[in-house]
Amino acid sequence: MKRFLLLVLALGIACAPQKSEKEQLAEQVKQEFLHAWNGYKQHAWGDDTLKPLSKSSKNWYNTSLLMTPVDAFDTMLLMGLDEEAAEAKELIFSELSFDHDFFVSNFEITIRLLGGLLSAYEMDGDERFLELAEDLGRRLLPAFDSATGMTYGRVNLKTGETNWQVNNPAEIGTLMIEFGTLTKHTQDSVFYNSAKKAMMGLYERRSEIGLVGTTIDVETGEWQNKEAHISGMIDSYYEYALKSWLLFRDEDFRKIWKAHEPAIEKYLLDEVASGTWYGRANMDTGERTATTYGALDAFMPGVLVLAGDIETAEKVQESNFKMWQLHGIEPEGLNYVDMEITSAGYPLRPENIESAYYLYQATGDEKYIEMGKVMFQSLVEYCKTEHGYAALSDVTTKEKSDDMESFFLAETLKYAYLLFADDKVFDLDKHVFNTEAHPMRID
Ligand code: DMJ
Strand partners, 270: 277
Residue 51, pLDDT > 60, answer yes
Distance (Å, whole) CA 412 – CA 350: 4
Distances (CA, A) of 126 to 70, 88, 91, 297, 392: 14, 13, 14, 36, 37
Residue 194, pLDDT > 50, answer yes
State the pLDDT at residue 1: 43
- Structural contact between residues 432 and 250, judged by C-beta atoms closer than 8 angstroms: no
Is 322 domain-assigned? yes
Domain holding 285, by residue range, is: 32-441
Q: Which active-site residues does the annotation give?
A: 108, 235, 332, 351
Distance (Å, whole) CA 384 – CA 400: 10
Residue 379, pLDDT > 60, answer yes
Distances (CA, A) of 311 to 55, 318, 362, 370: 45, 11, 11, 19
Is 46 domain-assigned? yes
User: Does the beta carbon of 436 sit less than 6 angstroms from any atom of ligand 1?
Assistant: yes
Residue 301, pLDDT > 70, answer yes
pLDDT digits (tens, 9 = 90+) for 413-425: 999 999 999 999 9
User: Does the beta carbon of 243 sit less than 6 angstroms from any atom of ligand 1?
Assistant: no
Residue whose CA is at the smallest distance from ligand 1 atom 11:
349
Is 11 domain-assigned? no
Interhelix angle for 235-248 vs 251-263, to 10°? 140
Decide: residue 282, CB within 10 A, 0-12 exposed, 13-18 middle, 19+ buried: middle
How many domains are contained in the chain? 1
Decide: residue 384, CB within 10 A, 0-12 exposed, 13-18 middle, 19+ buried: middle
What is the length of the chain? Answer: 443
- Which residues have C-beta within 8 Å of that of residue 436, sequence separation ≥ 6? 71, 111, 112, 115, 116, 407, 410, 411
Using CA atoms in the order 353, 355, 357, 363, what is the torsion angle rounded to 10 degrees? Answer: -140
Q: Of 7-21, 26-40, 75-89, 428-442, which gets the smallest average pLDDT?
A: 7-21
From the alpha carbon of 174, which atom of ligand 1 is closest? 6
**pLDDT band, residue 97 (cuts 50/70/90):** very high
DSSP codes joined into one string, 76-125: HHHHT-HHHHHHHHHHHHHH-----SSEEEHHHIIIIIIHHHHHHHHHH-
State the pLDDT at residue 16: 58
In 298-401, at which residue ranges do the beta strands (DSSP E only) sit?
333-335, 340-343, 384-385, 388-389, 391-394, 399-401
**pLDDT band, residue 288 (cuts 50/70/90):** very high
Letter for the amino acid at 38?
N
| 378 C-alpha to ligand 1 centroid (Å) | 20
Residue 4, pLDDT > 60, answer no
- Which residues have C-beta within 8 Å of that of residue 179, sequence separation ≥ 6? 110, 114, 137, 191, 192, 194, 195
Residue whose CA is at the smallest distance from ligand 1 atom 1:
436
- Structural contact between residues 109 and 145, judged by C-beta atoms closer than 8 angstroms: no
Residue 204, pLDDT > 70, answer yes
DSSP codes joined into one string, 368-398: HHHHHHHHHHHHHHHHEETTEE-EEEETTTT
- Structural contact between residues 97 and 435, judged by C-beta atoms closer than 8 angstroms: no
State the pLDDT at residue 12: 47
Is 2 domain-assigned? no
Is 103 domain-assigned? yes
Q: What is the pTM of this model?
A: 0.96
CATH of the domain at 132: 1.50.10.10
State the pLDDT at residue 245: 98
Is 41 domain-assigned? yes
User: Does the beta carbon of 350 sit less than 6 angstroms from any atom of ligand 1?
Assistant: yes
From the alpha carbon of 347, which atom of ligand 1 is closest? 11
Residue 299, pLDDT > 60, answer yes
pLDDT digits (tens, 9 = 90+) for 386-400: 999 999 999 999 999
Is 21 domain-assigned? no
Distance (Å, whole) CA 136 – CA 386: 35
By three-state DSSP, how is residue 233 classified? coil
Is 259 domain-assigned? yes
| 112 C-alpha to ligand 1 centroid (Å) | 9
Q: Find the angle CA(402)-CA(404)-CA(408) to the nearest 5 degrees.
A: 155
Distance (Å, whole) CA 149 – CA 137: 16
